[in-house]
Every structure is written in C-alpha cells, then in structure tokens.
Structure 1
Amino acid sequence: MRIAFYGSSLLSSYWNGAATYYRGMLKDLAARGHRITFYEPDAFDRQKHRDIEPPDWAEVRVWPATEEGLRGVVAEAARADVVVKASGVGVFDDALIQGVMAAARPEAIRIFWDVDAPATLAEIRPAPEHPLRRTLPMLDFVLTYGGGPPVIEAYEGLGARRCVPIYNALDPDTHHPVPADPRFAADLSFLGNRLPDREARVEAFFLDPAARLPERRFLIGGNGWETKGMPPNVRHLGHVYTRDHNAFNTSSLAVLNIARDSMATTGYSPATRVFEAAGAGACLITDAWVGLELFLKEGEEVLVARDGADVAAHVAALTPERARAIGDAALARVLAEHTYNRRGAEVDALLRAEAARPRVRGAAA
C-alpha cells in the first residue's frame, strides 16, 4: 500500500523524541512491501541537525513550514492508500489533521498516530470543538505508541472507531551493544530533552540522587539543560545524536529512564529510550509506572525506583557484574518479544484486514 505519513521528522532526532520510533516502524512496514512517503516540515532547526539522510526504504518530503507548503503536502494525501497524521508535528497540527483527512480518497485508510497520547487526551478532552476530536469519528484507527487500556477507553469514549496501542520497540540493526566510549563514562546516565512535564521528575529521580552521591559521576544528555543548576558531579553533554546512543548506553554503570508526567500517570508507556538501552545491553533503572511488567521484569531485567532515594540506593549497591547480568537479561527479553519486526507485523495485519473490508471507508468525511 502507498502510505502518506505526516510526522515531525524522520531524518532528525533534534527536539524530536519520536524519530527512533518512526524509523523502526516505517522501515519494517517498507520491508513488508508498503511504499512510504514521509512528510516533515522544515522547522525547529531539525534539518540542520540530521541524524540520517533519506533512507532507501522511504521517500522523505521536507516541506516549508508555511501555509503554501502546507497546502502542497495536504493535496498529496489524495495519492495514498493509507493516510497517517502523527501527533506533535509542531507546526500546523490542527490544519494538517483536518486537511489530509479531507483530501484522502474515500476508500483510503485514515489513521491518527499518537506518540504522546496522555498529553493529547488532556488537551482534547475538555474541548469538544477541537479539530482532532471532531475528526476522530471519520478515522479508521487511532494508533498510539503507549497508554494501554486507559488510553484505549479514553479515545473510543471520545468517538474513535478503534484505538490500538503499537508500543515502542527495538531495531537491533541500529541499537545494539558496542564497546564503551570514554566520552560517556559515568555511574548513571540520563538522556532526555528538558520539557515542562518532565523537569520536576528529572530533579527528583536524577539530580537528587546525584546530590546524595557526591562521589559518583552523573551524565545528562539532551537539549535545554544548559541553564539548569546541577550538582558539581553532573556533566551535561547537550544534544546526543542517535549515532552515539549505543555508546552512551553502554559506557556507564547504569542508564536511567524517566517518564514524562502524563505517561507516568497513565502507565503502559515505555519510552523509546527503554528499548534503546536494553538493546545495547545496558543496565536500566526506571521510575515506576503501571504496566512495566509487560515489557521487562523488575529485579531481573530492570531496576525500578519509586523516588530519588531508590535511584541512589540502586546506584550505590550496583556492581559491574550485576549491571552486566541485568543488561544481558534485558537484551534477551527485548530481542525475543519487543522488536519492530513484531510491531510492524501488527500494523501490517491491521492495514490488510481493513483494506479487505467490503465497504467504502471515510464516508463520514
């Protein structure tokens, strides 16, 4: 099928945490015979900070972030068998969801793919006239990269015909064990951009443990932390390109995952970083959230912290041998159960079943 995918960026992870997810999912769908065109705006300096050049498994259309550019890419939705609008494009999000779904052919499969469902739902629940909420009944699917039963119930309660979580996963071709790199040596490393709904949790789960363990080395990567006051044993790297993620994950004693506020509250929302770290064989420490056991087993494949004191205790007690055992177990688990090959199979089955239905889709449009 010809898939038109309107997202934030396939080529750059700069201020774009969904990049790894897009790449893993769409690469697998292309291998299954789908033809992918990814439409991304030239915005937020992402094109100046590319991680990859256009891959051979997708055509990438970088469009000017202007109304004229918007009109051009909206019109191209009419060429596709499957039209996907992702959340968080960052520019013209409301106009895109309305425009591409209206431009799609009546028989096309229409999908909203939400990479931050808890935050999106918090925005549209109190707003009956929100463009996305008004569009939900004409869509064939809402796909999400997390959220579990609470998100399914919420979306279908707002009028979505069907909501299906397609969780983050691992692409072992891009995330895998590599030798340690002295640039990223630390006792505990965290990678994530500075965002309003994450900052307080970073203070609690990362900066507080650093203050508790002044003799240990802490490393933080990601955009926006330059102006944040930190303990002297915390080193800040700035943006870490995806080409360095494997070394970042394998070069410290442990790697920390910190969920954003809404995802921690909702649960069932493993970040891409969880699978990147596990795929590299890193010892992962994560904040606690409901549904974690679906992905990794506490105490054997991941260490779980309820607060900063727990994080500090894990780091203080961790030996290189124990860290290696936990990392090896996590790697085995995600390779067996949580790869993009498995996630792609789920999406491919959904698309083929929907395409086979003897009806004209999109009549509500």
Structure 2
Amino acid sequence: MENRRKFNRLTLSGFCVAASIAFGSAPVIAEEKLKVGFVYPSPIGDNGWSYRHEVGRQDVIAHFGDNVETTFVESVPEGPDATRVITQLALSGHDLIFTASFGFMEPTLQVAEKFPDVRFENNTGFKTAPNVSVYNARFHEGRVIFGTIAGMMTETNTVGYIASFPIPEVIMGINAFTLAAQKVNPDIEVKVVWVNTWYNPALEADAAQVLLDQGADIITQHTNSPAPCQRAEEAGVYCFGQDADMSQFAEQAHLTGIVNNWGPYYIRRVQDVMDGSWETGHTWDGISDGLVMMAPYNKSLPDGVKTVATGIEQALKDGTLNPFSGPIVDANGDTVIGQGDALTDKQVHEMNWFVRGVEGELPS
C-alpha cells in the first residue's frame, strides 16, 4: 500500500497509554489479561476505514475492561513492513491479532505459521489456516442503496466511482452499485477511476476532479478518506461516504454512506478466545447482521427517493433482495446469469469482470 507514514505508534488499551514497541522487547503486563493486537493500513484519523476499526477496538475495551490489554499499530504498509509488525505483536505475547486489510493476508499467513499458538484474524482476505480466520463484510449491500439513490438523483446520467484496487471486494461493489442504479435509470453510466491506494487524500481528490470533468454529478468511492466528498461539496454535486459517516465533511453533498460496525464481531471473537471456543472460519456478514450500517440520509433527499432507499435497505435486512440476481450481462454483452437465478457467494467472491454500464478498464 502506498503509505509513507511511520508505523511505530502503539496504544495500550486498559490505561490508554501510548507506547512505542522496540522490536525484540515487549511491555510487561499481567499474565491473566488477554492481549489483543490490531494492525491498521491507514491512520486512525482517516475518518474512514481504520477509524471504524479503532472504534471497534474501543468497543472491546469498554466491554472487557481490565480483562484485556489491547495494542494497535496504524499506517502499516503492505508487504515486509506488515510482516515485521505482525511478528512483533506475536513475539510480545499477543494472544489474538486482527490484521485489517486485504493486503495483510499473506503476511498474516506467514507469521501465523511460525506462531501456531497465536490466533490471527485477517480482514477482507480469503485464505485461512488452522490459526488464521477471515472476517469480511458485505459492503456491496450498502452500494445497492447508493446505486438506487444515484439512479434517481443524477441529472447527467453520469456517476463517478473512485476505486482502490481491482480485487473482488471492490469489483463487486462497483457492479452492485451499477446494477441497482440501472434498475431505476437504464440510461445511467458509471465511470471508474483507479487510484491503486486505499488512502491518499490528495490522489483521491484528484480522481474526483477527473470524474467531475467527465460530467459526473455524483461521486462515490472505495477509498478511505473523505477527500472525494470534500471535492464534491466544493463542486456542488452529491457524494456517498465510505466506511464511516462522512457527512461532517460534506454537509450538503453527502447523501448517505456505509458505516462499518466491527465492534460486535471483535467482542465475540475475543470472548471465543477467552472461552477456548475460537475456531478458524470465514465470516461474511452484512446489513442483516448489523455489521454494515447506513449513515443518516441527507435531509435534502426527496421523500420519494428516501422511501425507495429505505425500502431497499429493509429488503436487504430481511433477505428478500439479492443484489446479484439475474439477469446479469457483463461489459462484453455476455449473459453471466439468467432470469430466475443468482450468483453464488463463491462466484461473487471470485468476481473479476464488470457488468454492462461500467465505463473503464478493469486492470489485470
């Protein structure tokens, strides 16, 4: 991940004491406390992805109190730096380590093999091991609501989408957004700009401007900072936030956003370790489970649009709406799934193609 920030800032939870871990040494804590580590790809001040994971860590502290000791490391680049940080957490006695990025998957697996008695949880990855579990969220469900609103609110029939990396998590979000928008507005086009980073406010803002210059009157994103929404606010167009409620950065532009609610999952998995019931697995929850929530809808939304959006949200909650039910046609004009059928979770997880209506190259 493109991120040049240092990763030596650590926070010990029980007393909220900041400390720097020197590789090869560890803080002394009571043996009876469960030590839980969190590794974030961007700063907790990103007001998005890592911020919401940090909220989840704070939920763990509030729930377990002095029974846990937590540590977080922020702004960790993917690759060798991630491996070093995860290794240090394992060496310093952490019993459970959450690594909050797809790009941390391989480093997590490498470290886990060397520390079989430590439990690891990788966020948004897909590979497990005897002591490595995977947890993810159906973020694309929120984008079904985005797409519905965008299809009803756009005046130019052009929507801009800022994408991070061409992985299934991002691709399925673009496709879910586009399919939902097309249901209410068959003429809509979704233009995609790839930035190849999760967090780079300047680059994200530039990408938003490129899309605005191409006629987009709504901006959505799969990146971590509020910069795209801020640029949308300046341009007088609408936006959708990512990972957290970003309305404070774009009070007029922000129509709604996805809010990631990691706290209940973190609490459950910490309890599993305490009970001795922790097992590896692959969790993929969404709106119905409360892991994906929607930020408040902008008061400027017409009543009719809000009614439709909340209806879609309820359908996703009760399971009567499948975002990837057929018919679905890809960008090449080929039918992927027919009427009456739907993509399986496995097919969605392996998604490497765009639906018809998405404009932009899909990098290999």
Both proteins in one fold, TM over 0.5: no
Q: Name the one with the larger helix percent.
A: 1
Q: Please, what TM-score do these two structures have when normalized by structure 2? A: 0.39
